[in-house]
Amino acid sequence: MHFFKRKKNRQQYFQQMTMPWRERLYNVALRQTRTSARAEDWVQETFMRAWQDFDDLADPQAVYAWLLKILDHVIADDIRKEARRQQIAPVISTEELFLQEQHSSYQGPFEQLLQQQTDQQLIKAIQSLPEDFGKVILLRDIEGLSYQELSRILAVPEGTIMSRLSRGRRLLSNILNRSDRQGKLPQTDKTTKGIYK
Amino acid sequence: MSDNRNLKALHLEIQNLLAGYVDDSLSETEKYIVEAHLAGCLTCRMDVERQQQISQRLNHLPLSRLPAHLQQKLDRIPEQPLPMSGKKTVRDHWKVLRNGFNKRIQIKPLITLSGWAVALILMLVLLLPLKPSDNQQTIPMVAQVLAEYQSAGISGQFNLHSKVGVNAPASWPDARVLASWETSIGGAPATAYAVRTGNHIVFQYAVTEKVFFRNPVVRMKVAKEGRYQAKENGLMVVALPVKKAGLLIVGPEKAIPEIKSISL
Ligand SMILES: [Zn+2]
């Protein structure tokens, strides 16, 4: 409500607060889809909702986390609508990944393997992770947010963030190892993510 | 045997903390427990190392540039009107903008004239002031008609079928009815009329008595002065009581006729 008193400043204030985050938000969106058009739609929708709910922004310091949270909802809504998960053909199941998670036999220089991956390959590998794991990696390792911020954005306890991040990074290294041996990235069947609950 | 099983359980438990260890986000106690385990577990040590490497590698991904056309779209977002009548209306309004104005208004065409529809779209795009609003209004029905008026101009998709021979509730010398449609104001059905006057387009909304007199400010003003009016960013809304109903006229300030020239 307090912003209503300074409505003349509202537009200006909104732009001032959100404009610096546009590009980063766009990149977060871009890393969660295979088409840039879809990322653009998500970003536009996010800023529309942000503008409409601007008065809900309680802590101006946390504007980026707030925008990320809105983006997360926008993406979830969109995915629910399109049920696009159905269209992703499973090549290996995440169950299989988890089985090998405990006894990954790879002993070679992981760092070297990692450096050989192009940025695009890494993004693809993250996208192939079950959604919950990919998201924490994206927000923590790429965006550099704290566990506390992640907890607020995704509305789960910090302990859950930590365990998802642990498993997510482990899965990611398995995927990279595997792709190194097979010469291509696997795609996981995200519809089986229920098994992690 | 059972020792082994405990070790295995601890190992699995510790695995969930390794990200926190890598990111230095553990409590002192947790850190101590993890380090004690790491000393004796090669798998976890390797896991920590890989997590560190992944984290570092991902930290340095370059950013893609924001496309210019998206930049422009985002620039325009705060220019959109924002009715001040509570969340629900705000959301509804955005839905209107997203879906295109024409989907929301329920049009009951009597006669369809495609030529008119095209002309109307053109005129609305050309004549409606596109200046965004600061929206000082707190009276819901007033905010809503302002927003509808503005979004018609912004969306430019005013694909109306016009009615021929329809009279708007209010008329004045150079007023010509272009179109009429059913809509909803203040949660109750209302009839809207697009009226051309000079080089401008003015909307009239016939609203229910209940909606019209809902706001005490409007009630008082109407009782004292026979009308309520509000101005905002060059737009003006005049609220007039009519028989068993209310009438809202919205448009550019200079296009709103003198009260004495209006016949109801
Ligand atoms: Zn261990």
| B32 alpha carbon – ligand 1 mean position (Å) | 14
Query: Which residue among A86, A113, A131 closes a domain?
Result: A86
Neighbours of ion ligand 1 (CB under 5 A): B 11, 41, 44
Q: Is residue A127 part of a domain?
A: yes
Do the domain assignments include residue A196? no
Nearest-CA distance from B165 to chain A in Å?
40
Closest alpha carbon within chain A to B132: A11
Total domain count, chain A: 2
- Ligand 1 centroid to residue B68 C-alpha, Å: 49
Q: What is the extent of the structural domain holding A125? A: 95-182
Work out the end-to-end distance of chain B between its first and last CA atoms, rounded to an integer number of angstroms: 95
Q: Are residues A108 and A70 in the same domain?
A: no
Q: Label the pairing between strands B175-185 and B245-252.
A: unpaired
Please name every residue paired with B204 in a beta bridge, in sequence order, or none if there are none: B193, B249
Q: How far is A4 from chain B (nearest CA, A)?
A: 8
ipTM value of the model?
Answer: 0.78
Give the Cα-Cα-Cα angle B123, B129, B132 (nearest 5 degrees). Answer: 140
Confidence of residue A189 (pLDDT cuts 50, 70, 90): very low
For the full predicted model, state whether its pTM sits above 0.90: no
The answer to whether residues A64 and A101 belong to one domain is no
> What does residue B170 show for φ and ψ, rounded to 5 degrees?
-110, 140
Residues A100 and A81 in one domain: no
Residues A99, A177, single domain; the answer is yes
Percent helix, percent strand, percent coil in chain B, to nearest 5: 50, 20, 30
| Residues A116 and A152 both lie in one domain | yes
The reported pLDDT for the residue numbered B84 is 52
Residues A44 and A115 in one domain: no
Beta bridge partner(s), residue B203: B194, B250
CATH code of the domain covering residue A134: 1.10.10.10
Per-residue pLDDT at B88: 38
Residue A41 included in any domain = yes
What pLDDT was estimated at residue B137?
A: 43
Placement of tokens 């550019």 in the chain? B252
A115 has a chain B CB within 8 A of its CB: yes
Domain check: are A75 and A6 in the same one? yes
Interface touch B59/A51, C-beta < 8 Å? no
Q: Is residue A44 part of a domain?
A: yes
pLDDT at A2 over 90: no
Mean pLDDT of A157-182: 89
Q: What is the CATH number of the domain that holds A48?
A: 1.10.1740.10
Name the residue with higher pLDDT: B256 or A4. B256
Q: Using alpha carbons, select from A40, A13, A46, A45 the residue that is nearest to residue A27.
A: A40
Mark whether A100 and A74 lie in a shared domain: no
Q: Judge whether B203 and B193 are in contact, CB under 8 Å.
A: yes
What residue segments make up the domains of chain B, in order of their start?
A: 2-59, 83-128, 135-261
Q: What is the pLDDT along chain B (264 residues), one digit of tens a residue?
A: 567 778 888 999 999 999 999 999 999 999 999 999 999 999 999 999 999 999 999 998 888 899 999 999 999 998 877 655 444 333 333 333 333 333 333 333 333 445 555 555 555 555 555 444 444 346 778 777 777 776 664 433 343 444 456 788 888 888 877 777 777 787 777 888 777 787 777 888 888 887 888 777 788 788 778 888 888 777 888 888 888 788 889 888 888 888 888 888
Residue numbers in B near A150 (CB within 8 A)? none
Residues A107 and A154 in one domain: yes
Q: Whose CA is closest to B183, among B96, B261, B81, B54? A: B96
**What CATH class does B135-261 carry?**
alpha beta
Residue A189 lies in a domain: no
Q: pLDDT-based confidence at A145, cuts 50/70/90? A: very high
pLDDT tens-digit series, residues A24-52: 999 999 999 888 999 999 999 999 999 99
Query: d(Cα B135, Cα A65) in Å, to the nearest integer?
Result: 28
Residue B44 near residue B11, CB atoms below 8 Å: yes
Q: pLDDT value at position B130? A: 45
A46 shares its domain with A123: no
At A55, the pLDDT band (50, 70, 90 cuts) reads: confident
Q: Which of B53, B71, B85 to mutate to test the interface with A (most CBs of A within 10 A)?
A: B53
Same domain membership, residue A75 and residue A136: no
Domain end point (choices A86, A105, A120): A86
* Interface touch B134/A52, C-beta < 8 Å: no
